[in-house]
Amino acid sequence: MLSASAITVQRARALRRTMTLPEILLWQALRQHPGGHKFRKQHLAGELVLDFFCAEAKLCIEVDGEAHDRGDQPAFDADRDAWLRLHAIDTLRITAADVLTNLDGVIVHIVEAARARLPHHHPALPDGPPSRSGEVLLRKCP
């Protein structure tokens, strides 16, 4: 990913130990790999610390409390999201209230957002494609 300073690394470590209740509840669900996706908590992206991050989908999940609606925080969040977009990372903002009142719905929303960011094709299988249903494979005898 993007490199970070030692101060940012220390801040991320501290944030991992002092998560809010909504962050804890969401992390307990995300660590179960919903939809087969792996998530990291308090992930570094340059000098930013992302609440949660799915690397395969390049998706950042931010849990926003009431403070995100006040003062210069909305402008700061918009600048942060724009910087992440420049690095091909989308941000999904979830309110803390939604996590507390509808955790299952939040997880479904996150899984759908991650799935939408994945490539629409699958890599080729090492032995080639599977046989078609009902098809009998005939081999020529030498």
Q: What is the CATH number of the domain that holds 43?
A: 3.40.960.10
Q: In which domain, by residue range, is 103 found?
A: 6-117
Give whole-number Cα distances, 46 to 4, 6, 8, 29, 59, in Å.
5, 11, 8, 26, 15
Q: What is the mean pLDDT of the chain?
A: 82
Q: Backbone dihedral region of 95: left (phi > 0), alpha (psi from -120 to 50 degrees) or beta? A: beta
> Strands 59-64 and 40-45, how do they pair?
unpaired
State whether the Cα torsion 106-21-30-34 is positive or negative: negative
C-alpha 98: how far from chain center? 17
Average pLDDT over residues 118-130: 65
In what helix (H) or strand (E) does residue 8 lie, and over which residues does it extend?
helix 6-17
- pTM for this prediction: 0.72
In a domain, 129, yes or no: no
In a domain, 124, yes or no: no
In a domain, 127, yes or no: no
Number of domains in the chain: 1
Q: Strands, DSSP E only, in 10-80?
A: 40-45, 48-54, 59-64
Tens of pLDDT, residue by residue over 65-119, are 877 666 777 888 899 899 999 999 999 999 999 999 999 999 999 999 999 998 7
